[in-house]
Each structure stands twice: as C-alpha cells, then as structure tokens.
C-alpha cells in the first residue's frame, strides 16, 4: 500500500514534470519567435535550432542533424530545403559516401549567428538567474536518468 501510494505520487510528479518541461519549451520558443519577428528576420525557431547545431560544427549530414534536434529525417529534408532557399546553408554531396549530403553554413549563415545566437542563450540566462548550479545539474541528471530508463525498457 505504502509502495503504491509512493508510485502514484511519483507518477503525478512525473506528469507535472512533463507539463513543466513543455511549458518551458513553449515559453522560450515564443520569446525567440517574437524577437525574430521584431527584427523582421526571415527564419523560424525550428530553422534556428538547425542553425544552432551547425554553428557548433558544420559539414554534418542530415540524419546527424535530425538526431541532434530530435526530429524525423523527413522533417530535416524540408527544413534544410527552406534554409537553402534563404541561402543560409548549402548541401554538398559527400564524395566518400554518396548517400550523405553534408550541410555547410554559407557566409550569410555565419553572419546571422552574431545576431541570433545571443537571443538563444539570453532566455536561458534569465530562466536560470535565481538558480544554483548544483540544483540545475541535479535536474539535468534526473531527466537524463528518466531518458535512460525509457530507452532501456524499449529494447
């Protein structure tokens, strides 16, 4: 009985956690979208997530970017198409493995980093201003443990 009660409490907490996670993500998305709109920049939050991965290192293939941004590879085809149209990235066929299309930033793509990147982190800085590093770290650990638990079970 005591065990069941505890399990219920944990489930409820996990549901709360899920809701809070989603809310947090939507808040940040909304903030970034507003910033982008205010400055009349022709890019979406989703494209920005792809750009963020490339700013760290470009020349990745589409599947790799899809994995990093937690998207289906077919969404990635579409998103990269849109970024190519806006001349922010270019596709280059991999000579060593012709299945791969490597994605590189253009000059424009590098340039917008200076403008957009600060906004991406600004919100996170605000969000964590009142928090202690250790508490943040342990929250990350908790979420990662939950992810591990789910992945283990699925095998």
Partner DNA sequence: TAAAAATGGTTTGAATTTAAACTATTAAGT
Partner DNA sequence: ACTTAATAGTTTAAATTCAAACCATTTTTA
The site for a copy of itself (CB under 8 A) is made up of 6-7, 9-11, 13-28, 31, 70, 121, 123-131, 133, 135-140, 142-147, 149-151, 153-154
Using CB distances below 5 to 8 A depending on partner kind, what does residue 20 bind out of DNA, a copy of itself, none?
A: a copy of itself
Q: Which does 78 bind (CB under 5 to 8 A by kind): DNA, a copy of itself, none?
A: DNA
Which residue in 69, 22, 63, 81 sits closest to 45, CA to CA? 69
44 binds, among DNA, a copy of itself, none (CB under 5 to 8 A by kind): DNA
87 or 128: whose CB is closer to a copy of itself? Answer: 128
Give least dist CB 90 to DNA, A.
12
Tell me which residues touch DNA (CB under 7 A).
26, 30, 33, 37, 44, 46-47, 61-64, 66, 70-80, 82, 91, 96-102
Q: Which two tokens stand for residue 137?
A: 């770290």
The one of DNA, a copy of itself, none whose footprint includes residue 80, by CB under 5 to 8 A per kind, is DNA
């Amino acid at each position: 009985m005591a065990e069941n009660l505890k399990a219920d409490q944990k489930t409820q907490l996990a549901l709360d956690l899920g809701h809070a996670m989603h809310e947090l993500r939507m808040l940040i998305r909304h903030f970034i979208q507003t910033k982008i709109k205010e400055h009349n920049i022709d890019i979406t939050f989703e494209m920005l997530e792809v750009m963020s991965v490339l700013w760290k290192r470009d020349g990745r293939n589409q599947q790799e970017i899809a994995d990093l941004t937690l998207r289906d590879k077919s969404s990635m085809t579409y998103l990269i198409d849109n970024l190519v149209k806006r001349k922010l990235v270019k596709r280059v066929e991999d000579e060593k493995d012709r299945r791969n299309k490597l994605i590189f930033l253009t000059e424009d793509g590098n340039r917008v980093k200076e403008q957009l990147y600060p906004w991406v982190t600004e919100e996170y800085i605000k969000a964590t201003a009142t928090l202690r590093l250790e508490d943040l770290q342990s929250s990350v650990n908790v979420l990662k443990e939950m992810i591990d638990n789910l992945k283990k079970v699925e095998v």
